[in-house]
């Protein structure tokens, strides 16, 4: 295909639940056949990456039968999918041969030495199989579907960051050398690292793959297809009557993804933003619903959505001196850096600082070190509640509106002004549902968007 034909190409990413069983794969096949000329990025079938992680865990523990049992169950699951998915034995055989190779490959690894490199090869199998299942299904439907193997163009550099130049050169060359097709398919999540070994973009990384490819192709749009009709204005698991947010800008989407809205991987936003490519969140089960579109939406003074992030620990450090001395902040931050623990949000005063973290694996050591600089207290089982929207400080009253909704709730920390797009509070987890509901009542129900 030549460069002109890539113009107007969209990247369509389908997540694990969208291809979770044979019926879902057929359904996605239908959606794809109505949208020809695009590039599809696929996750592993839902649950498969977890199963592959489980197999690896057994191997780390040297429990060979555990790994074998789990693999056998996966193989049977795949065979069931094949039996249901294809009418023509030709395509079923093609799919079975890929499954056979993949399962055989893992079986061989089970017998050998096991370390991180082997684990990554095992983890890559989920996407390798799901894409083969879909490819053959599309062919059975009569589509000219072409596989673009991700391991031949997705690559990270020595810092573990996507090697954009390599990805771009290889992918464009591959497309150039490929006949024009009805649809191109590739694996999400998997890649090679700087040493050429099989690697991945971390759990949930298929969104990131889609965004990187969209950026490289300067695609017209990146579509993330899941099983919910866009980013909702609150968490539908806890709050009734939530609505999809029609439009968000990249900053708002990144804040929501980072602070708890599970629908989109936070990394996915940046490549799209830098290349100004709209990201549209769509629902596989309700394809005509408008979903949410994320683009360079101009400031509109609207509060868009509320999200919650669980498992937060708040740590307060009161300076030993009456007034915070030069260097106090530095020492505090350095402590977190030394323990490779990122800080989510914080609040400071003249005499102390409270930080909120989501990774408490090094908590005991962190607290131990912080005691050199001041008096330390810790509150665990907290959540961050974030109100996200165009909250530029020039819009008088917006921050107050958000806080007003929380009048009956004990608030450990407030963070506002760090970005123009959010106000966040840390509260005890027992108040989470109440806070989310109150925020919806105050911010959305009285003022339908
Ligand atoms: N299959 C991978 C996972 O479950 C990547 C993805 O689905 O985005 O994390
Ligand atoms: Mg996902």
Whether 259 maps to a domain, the answer reads no
For ligand 1, the distance from its centroid to the CA atom of residue 127, given in whole angstroms, is 8
SS3 content of the chain, % helix, strand, coil (to 5): 45, 20, 35
pLDDT at 360 over 60: yes
Confidence of residue 58 (pLDDT cuts 50, 70, 90): very high
Nearest ligand (C-alpha, residue 227): 2
Identify the CATH number of the domain in which residue 140 sits: 3.40.1160.10
What is each CA distance from 113 to 59, 118, 124, 166, 198, in whole angstroms? 9, 8, 18, 31, 16
Whether 310 maps to a domain, the answer reads yes
Q: Determine the atom of ligand 1 nearest the C-alpha atom of 204.
A: 8
Whole-angstrom distance, CA of residue 348 vs CA of residue 328 = 11
Query: How do residues 4-50 score in pLDDT, each as one tens digit?
Result: 556 679 999 999 999 999 999 999 999 999 999 999 999 999 999 99
Residues 73 and 166 in one domain: yes
Please, are residues 29 and 141 in contact by the beta-carbon 8 Å criterion?
A: yes
Residues pairing with 389 in the sheet: 303
Confirm or reject: Cβ of 188 under 6 Å from ligand 1: yes
Whether 313 maps to a domain, the answer reads yes
Residues 106 and 201 in one domain: yes
Helix, coil or strand: residue 232? strand
Q: Determine the atom of ligand 1 nearest the C-alpha atom of 43.
A: 7
Whole-angstrom distance, CA of residue 131 vs CA of residue 370 = 49
**Which two structure tokens, joined as six digits, stand for 282?**
């769509």
pLDDT at 323 over 60: no
Q: What per-residue confidence (pLDDT) applies to 4?
A: 52
Confidence of residue 445 (pLDDT cuts 50, 70, 90): confident
- The pick from 44, 125, 257 for probing ligand 1's pocket by mutation, whose C-beta has the most ligand atoms within 8 angstroms, reads 44
pLDDT at 1 over 80: no
Q: What per-residue confidence (pLDDT) applies to 84?
A: 98
For ligand 2, the distance from its centroid to the CA atom of residue 15, given in whole angstroms, is 5
The last residue of a domain, from among 190, 207, 227: 227
Q: Which of 246, 393, 382 is nearest to 305 (CA)?
A: 246
Query: How do residues 276-317 score in pLDDT, each as one tens digit?
Result: 999 999 999 999 999 999 999 998 899 999 999 999 999 999
- The pick from 52, 188, 204, 264 for probing ligand 1's pocket by mutation, whose C-beta has the most ligand atoms within 8 angstroms, reads 204
Whether 191 maps to a domain, the answer reads yes
Strands 279-283 and 222-226: parallel
| pLDDT, mean over the chain | 94
pLDDT at 371 over 70: yes
Q: Determine the atom of ligand 1 nearest the C-alpha atom of 189.
A: 5
Confirm or reject: Cβ of 204 under 6 Å from ligand 1: yes
For ligand 1, the distance from its centroid to the CA atom of residue 44, given in whole angstroms, is 6
Confirm or reject: Cβ of 206 under 6 Å from ligand 1: yes
Identify the CATH number of the domain in which residue 401 sits: 3.30.2130.10
**Which two structure tokens, joined as six digits, stand for 419?**
């970005």
Q: How many domains in the chain?
A: 2
The last residue of a domain, from among 180, 198, 227: 227
Confidence of residue 432 (pLDDT cuts 50, 70, 90): very high
Instruction: Enter the DSSP assignment of 354.
Output: E
Whole-angstrom distance, CA of residue 411 vs CA of residue 268 = 31
Query: How do residues 240-288 score in pLDDT, each as one tens digit?
Result: 999 999 999 999 999 998 887 777 888 889 999 999 999 999 999 999 9
Would you say the C-alpha torsion 322, 325, 328, 329 has a positive or negative sign?
positive
Q: Determine the atom of ligand 1 nearest the C-alpha atom of 209.
A: 8
Whether 415 maps to a domain, the answer reads yes
Provide the domain limits for residue 362: 303-443
Whether 233 maps to a domain, the answer reads no
- The pick from 47, 206, 266 for probing ligand 1's pocket by mutation, whose C-beta has the most ligand atoms within 8 angstroms, reads 206
Confidence of residue 448 (pLDDT cuts 50, 70, 90): very low
- Torsion (CA) 91, 184, 191, 112 in degrees, nearest 10: 10
- Torsion (CA) 75, 79, 85, 87 in degrees, nearest 10: 150
Residues 158 and 9 in one domain: yes
Confidence of residue 449 (pLDDT cuts 50, 70, 90): very low
Length of the chain: 449
Confirm or reject: Cβ of 291 under 6 Å from ligand 1: no
Strands 38-42 and 183-187: parallel
Residues 58 and 191 in one domain: yes
Residues 219 and 310 in one domain: no
Please, are residues 70 and 91 in contact by the beta-carbon 8 Å criterion?
A: no
For ligand 2, the distance from its centroid to the CA atom of residue 267, given in whole angstroms, is 12
Residues 218 and 320 in one domain: no
Whole-angstrom distance, CA of residue 234 vs CA of residue 240 = 9
Confidence of residue 2 (pLDDT cuts 50, 70, 90): low
**Which two structure tokens, joined as six digits, stand for 87?**
């009418």
For ligand 2, the distance from its centroid to the CA atom of residue 425, given in whole angstroms, is 26
Query: How do residues 160-201 score in pLDDT, each as one tens digit?
Result: 999 999 999 999 999 999 989 999 999 999 999 999 999 999
Q: What per-residue confidence (pLDDT) applies to 261?
A: 76
For ligand 2, the distance from its centroid to the CA atom of residue 6, given in whole angstroms, is 26
Whole-angstrom distance, CA of residue 105 vs CA of residue 126 = 12
350 alpha-carbon distance from chain centroid: 37
**pLDDT over 70, % of the chain:** 96
For ligand 2, the distance from its centroid to the CA atom of residue 328, given in whole angstroms, is 40
The last residue of a domain, from among 209, 227, 245: 227
Q: Determine the atom of ligand 1 nearest the C-alpha atom of 15.
A: 7
**Which two structure tokens, joined as six digits, stand for 23?**
């019926």
Residues 208 and 106 in one domain: yes
Residues 223 and 308 in one domain: no
Q: Determine the atom of ligand 1 nearest the C-alpha atom of 207.
A: 8
For ligand 1, the distance from its centroid to the CA atom of residue 43, given in whole angstroms, is 6
pLDDT at 361 over 60: yes
Residues 196 and 339 in one domain: no
Whole-angstrom distance, CA of residue 19 vs CA of residue 168 = 27
Residues 212 and 321 in one domain: no
Q: Determine the atom of ligand 1 nearest the C-alpha atom of 44.
A: 1
pLDDT at 324 over 70: no
Residues 307 and 217 in one domain: no
Confirm or reject: Cβ of 191 under 6 Å from ligand 1: no
Whole-angstrom distance, CA of residue 312 vs CA of residue 380 = 7
Confirm or reject: Cβ of 200 under 6 Å from ligand 1: no
Supply the residue whose CA is at minimum distance from atom 8 of ligand 1.
204
Residues 307 and 221 in one domain: no
Whether 60 maps to a domain, the answer reads yes
Whether 409 maps to a domain, the answer reads yes
- Determine the average pLDDT of the residues in 83-88: 98
**Which two structure tokens, joined as six digits, stand for 294?**
């994320």
pLDDT at 322 over 70: no
For ligand 1, the distance from its centroid to the CA atom of residue 407, given in whole angstroms, is 39
Confirm or reject: Cβ of 131 under 6 Å from ligand 1: no
Q: What per-residue confidence (pLDDT) applies to 9?
A: 93
Instruction: Enter the DSSP assignment of 445.
Output: I
For the ranges 47-61, 78-92, 258-272, 344-358, which has the lowest average pLDDT?
Answer: 258-272
- pTM flag (> 0.75): yes
What is each CA distance from 83 to 23, 77, 355, in whole angstroms? 11, 10, 53
């Amino acid at each position: 295909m030549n460069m002109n034909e890539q113009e107007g190409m969209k990247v369509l990413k389908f997540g694990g639940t969208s291809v979770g069983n044979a019926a879902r794969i057929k359904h996605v096949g239908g959606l794809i056949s109505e949208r020809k000329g695009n590039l599809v990025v696929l996750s592993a079938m839902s649950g498969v990456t977890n199963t592959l992680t489980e197999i690896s865990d057994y191997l780390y523990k040297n429990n060979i039968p555990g790994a074998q049992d789990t693999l056998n169950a996966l193989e049977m699951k795949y065979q069931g999918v094949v039996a249901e998915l294809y009418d023509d034995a030709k395509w079923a055989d093609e799919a079975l041969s890929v499954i056979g190779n993949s399962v055989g490959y893992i079986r061989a690894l089970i017998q050998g030495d096991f370390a991180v490199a082997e684990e990554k090869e095992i983890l890559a199998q989920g996407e390798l199989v799901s894409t083969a299942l879909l490819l053959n299904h599309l062919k059975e439907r009569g589509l000219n579907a072409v596989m673009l193997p991700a391991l031949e163009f997705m690559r990270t550099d020595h810092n573990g960051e996507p090697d954009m130049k390599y990805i771009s050169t290889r992918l464009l060359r591959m497309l150039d050398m490929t006949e024009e097709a009805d649809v191109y398919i590739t694996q999400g999540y998997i890649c090679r690292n700087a040493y050429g070994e099989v690697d991945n973009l971390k759990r949930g990384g298929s969104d990131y793959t889609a965004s990187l490819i969209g950026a490289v192709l300067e695609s017209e749009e990146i579509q993330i297809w899941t099983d919910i009709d866009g980013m909702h204005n609150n968490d539908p698991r806890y709050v009734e009557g939530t609505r999809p947010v029609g439009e968000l800008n990249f900053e708002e989407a990144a804040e929501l993804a980072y602070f708890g809205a599970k629908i989109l991987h936070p990394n996915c936003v940046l490549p799209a933003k830098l290349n100004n490519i709209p990201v549209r969140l769509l629902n596989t089960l309700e394809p005509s619903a408008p979903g949410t579109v994320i683009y360079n939406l101009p400031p509109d003074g609207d509060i868009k959505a509320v999200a919650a992030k669980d498992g937060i620990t708040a740590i307060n450090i009161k300076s030993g001196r009456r007034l915070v001395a030069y260097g106090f902040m530095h020492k505090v931050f350095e402590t977190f850096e030394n323990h490779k623990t990122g800080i989510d949000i914080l609040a400071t005063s003249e005499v102390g600082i409270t930080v909120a973290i989501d990774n408490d694996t090094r908590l005991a050591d962190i607290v131990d070190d912080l005691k050199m600089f001041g008096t330390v207290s810790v509150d665990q089982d907290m959540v961050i509640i974030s109100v996200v929207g165009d909250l530029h400080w020039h819009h008088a009253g917006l921050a107050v509106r958000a806080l007003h909704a929380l009048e009956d709730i004990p608030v450990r920390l407030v963070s506002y002004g760090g970005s123009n797009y959010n106000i966040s509070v840390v509260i005890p987890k027992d108040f989470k549902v109440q806070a989310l509901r109150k925020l919806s009542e105050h911010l959305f129900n009285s003022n339908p968007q």
